């Protein structure tokens, strides 16, 4: 991952990083404030030898090593137990050992003993008692067998242990700063790790590489789409995106004039119905006669978007209960709509009939463009069956939702049945994603939305428009 990818990951996943930072900081503050303050008291012990005698001179040569040994013995279990007994402490010697330190001050013959406790007074008492017990311990060990002779090494307490009212732990500023830095690191590392493990599609380059087909448009995420799903030819970014998709779809097929276009996706909830409907509206605004067919018999939604009926439609025509003329409804935008009709128990078998093939022949003659909202490619075989009867397909890919493997399998399904993929559409791209403005810089140039001449309608469209 280079620097650009790293910064792009942070830009996309900044919410995760910020949430981790905030939660980590709050947890650090709560943890630090819940820790019982510890107070420390220190006292110094000075070691020396008697001032006369050859024995004293020999002892002075080994005194530095002996001082280091006594610093280690200062935390001996027997000394700890003496301190506990003298102060009547409610703790084990292991617990007391963790509260006491003894260190030799460099270049001196002095040991500094430090004790920590929950109160300043208790810390002072422990330090005083520990120092006195160590002095007695040295006296016992250094006392010669001949009681008339002075000890070779003498230990003295330099003064009483100090009393400090300032706690030594926790260090609030330092601990909070460390917690913030750790939370920031975890947030950034987590964002990078999530990006590395994320198998969803998040860029135009990924889609084109996997599908081996051009991305005809990237549709920006618009929060108001749920309330206003139809673009209606407005001047917003989403309406402009569908105009670019309409134009790029024409430029992507210069050698032929595609009349039947299937719109599908790899899995459900990728936005295929919304794209199929708005693409039909956009083409109708360009002066074409457009028939929009809802072929997703398992989950029909186009009628709800257009505010039309779905009780009579494709299935009604295929079983011969109504003609295409009778089952087709006109939307206020000029789009002719053919719903699914009643839901059959076997949608795939209904689509794979001669009646369906005859219907495609008929609609090709009657309309300039036919757009079919088909079921997803992977869960059912319906879209694969329809692929053999249309000129080509648009494949919807949802940003951050469709995985690479799902996209690869969907393209493979199209190739297996010998279908043609006109291109892909990257849907719901965030504003700050690398491809968020791809709809404004597609493969074609957006054509004017308002034609200079009156729209030309086919015979069937004229029939529908007649009062």
Kindly give the residue spans of alpha helices, DSSP state H, lying in 198-235. Answer: 204-211
Distances (CA, A) of 155 to 62, 114, 146, 167, 307: 15, 17, 19, 29, 98
Distances (CA, A) of 51 to 139, 304, 332: 17, 107, 115
6-63 tens-digit pLDDT = 787 787 778 888 999 999 999 999 998 888 899 999 999 999 887 655 455 555 677 8
Given a cut of 90, is residue 210 above it in pLDDT? yes
Token digits of residue 242: 């569908």
Helix axes 120-142, 77-87, angle to 10 degrees: 130
Pick from 242, 194, 195, 198: nearest CA to 218:
242
Contact 320, 358 (CB under 8 A): no
pLDDT at site 60: 63
pLDDT band, very low/low/confident/very high, at 192 (cuts 50, 70, 90)? confident
Distance of CA 126 to the CA centre of its chain: 52
- As a whole number of angstroms, the distance between CA 337 and CA 300 comes to 13
pLDDT band, very low/low/confident/very high, at 456 (cuts 50, 70, 90)? very low
More confident residue, 389 or 144: 389
pLDDT at site 342: 93
pLDDT at site 181: 94
More confident residue, 61 or 169: 169
261 bridge partner residues: 371, 392
* Percentage of residues in the chain having pLDDT higher than 90: 58
Residue that has been written with the tokens 């291109």 in this structure: 423
Distances (CA, A) of 60 to 139, 161, 198, 312: 16, 27, 70, 111
Given a cut of 50, is residue 438 above it in pLDDT? no
Q: Work out the average pLDDT over 141-152.
A: 73
Could you give the domains of the chain?
3-35+171-195 (no CATH), 39-157 (3.30.70.1130), 201-465 (3.40.50.300)
Given a cut of 80, is residue 216 above it in pLDDT? yes
297-340 tens-digit pLDDT = 999 999 999 999 999 999 999 999 999 999 999 999 999 999 99
* Percentage of residues in the chain having pLDDT higher than 70: 87
């Amino acid at each position: 991952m280079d620097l650009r990818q790293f910064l792009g990951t942070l830009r996309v996943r900044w919410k995760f990083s910020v949430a981790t930072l905030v939660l980590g900081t709050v947890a650090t503050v709560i943890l630090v404030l819940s820790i019982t303050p510890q107070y420390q008291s220190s006292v110094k012990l000075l070691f020396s030898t008697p001032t006369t005698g050859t024995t004293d001179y020999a002892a002075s040569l080994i005194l530095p090593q002996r001082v280091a040994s006594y610093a280690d013995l200062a935390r001996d279990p027997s000394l700890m137990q003496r301190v506990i007994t003298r102060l009547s402490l409610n703790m084990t010697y292991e617990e007391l050992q963790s509260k006491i330190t003894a260190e030799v001050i460099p270049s001196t013959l002095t040991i500094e003993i430090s004790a920590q406790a929950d109160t300043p007074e208790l810390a002072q008492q422990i330090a005083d008692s520990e120092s006195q017990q160590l002095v007695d311990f040295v006296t016992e060990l250094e006392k010669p067998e001949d009681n008339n002779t002075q000890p070779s090494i003498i230990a003295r307490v330099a003064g009483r242990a100090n009393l400090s009212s300032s706690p030594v732990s926790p260090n609030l500023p330092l601990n909070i700063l460390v917690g913030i830095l750790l939370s920031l690191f975890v947030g950034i590392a987590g964002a990078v790790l999530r990006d590395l493990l994320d198998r969803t599609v998040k860029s135009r380059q990924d889609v084109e590489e996997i599908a081996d087909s051009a991305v005809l448009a990237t549709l920006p995420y618009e929060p108001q789409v749920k309330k206003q799903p139809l673009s209606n030819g407005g001047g917003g970014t989403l309406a402009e995106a569908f105009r670019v998709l309409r134009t790029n779809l024409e430029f992507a097929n210069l050698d032929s004039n595609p009349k039947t276009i299937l719109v599908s996706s790899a899995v459900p909830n990728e936005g295929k119905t919304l794209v199929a409907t708005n693409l039909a509206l956009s083409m109708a605004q360009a002066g074409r006669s457009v028939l929009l067919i809802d072929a997703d018999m398992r989950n029909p939604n186009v009628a709800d978007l257009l505010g039309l009926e779905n009780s009579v439609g494709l299935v009604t025509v295929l079983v011969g209960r109504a003609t295409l003329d009778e089952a087709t409804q006109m939307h206020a935008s000029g789009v002719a709509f053919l719903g699914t009709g009643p839901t059959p128990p076997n949608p795939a078998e209904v689509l794979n009939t001669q009646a369906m093939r005859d219907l495609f022949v008929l609609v090709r003659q009657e309309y300039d463009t036919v757009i079919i909202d088909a079921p997803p490619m992977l869960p059912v075989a319906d879209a694969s069956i329809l692929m053999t009867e249309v000129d080509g397909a648009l494949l919807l890919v949802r940003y951050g939702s469709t995985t690479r493997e799902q996209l690869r399998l969907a393209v493979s399904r199209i190739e297996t049945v010998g279908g043609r993929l006109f291109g892909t559409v990257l849907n719901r791209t965030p504003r700050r994603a690398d491809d968020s403005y791809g709809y404004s810089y597609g493969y074609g140039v957006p054509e004017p939305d308002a034609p200079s001449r009156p729209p030309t309608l086919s015979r069937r469209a004229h029939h529908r428009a007649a009062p």
